[in-house]
Amino acid sequence: MEKLKQNLEQKNAAVIVVDMQNDYCHPDGAIAKSGIDVSAVNKIIPRLRSLLDAAKAYSVPIIFLQTNHEKSTDSEVWLSRFPDGVNPICHTGSWGAEFYEVAPQHDDIIVKKHRYSGFVHTRLESVLQTLKIETLIITGVSTNLCVESTARQGFMLDYRIVLMSDACAAFSQEEHDMSLKTVDTYFGMVTDTEQVVSFWRLQAPHSPQLIT
């Protein structure tokens, strides 16, 4: 709890929700159709919803990162990741790019991205600076790619990083655990939703502000 206090106490924080989209998370999405097991995603949904509900109650901003791919952003180097040179994931305007199970509410912020990191060629840093955010509470998928890439770059831009172990998921336990260890050692800290929500509750012992 002491490390969590260092990152949250008297700090402006925002919850970052990374790539909770059909192509990454849905059993009929592009990732699942490629033969990859996406079942770990559904296991984090209750905790993620709990965290987002608490963030609303305690007036913590929520920022959804949404991957969008199209010809204008799919460079030759980016497409080289795919064996056939065709990107099947999160095409702009497609069902696959739509949010999965959790979606932004009217007062949440959406930042569209085209690479693993939420900071590369996006407005994320401008939004964070406008809100005077100091700490990023990071959730979503996948832990070892877009989540970790965003956490790494955020740390190197001098944001405090709090990675939620039970509100992010990878497509294997080994990849998930590896990223948790890396971030906790070098790029911030790892904790769980219960700890963060408990911290918010202790900091606001009276009834939280209700968002209507």
Catalytic residues: 19, 113, 146
User: 4 near 199, Cβ under 8 Å?
Assistant: yes
Q: Which helix (H) or strand (E) holds 39?
A: helix 39-57
C-alpha span between 8 and 134 (Å, rounded): 9
Residue with tokens 């963060």: 196
> Would strands 109-113 and 13-18 be described as parallel, antiparallel, or unpaired?
unpaired
Contact 171/31 with Cβ under 8 angstroms?
yes
Q: Are 114 and 68 in contact (CB under 8 A)?
A: yes
Question: Is the CB of residue 18 less than 8 Å from the CB of residue 44?
Answer: no
In whole angstroms, give the CA distance from residue 49 to residue 197: 12
**Both tokens assigned to 166:** 């039970």
User: Distance from first CA to last CA of the chain, Å, rounded?
Assistant: 31
AA letter at 52? L
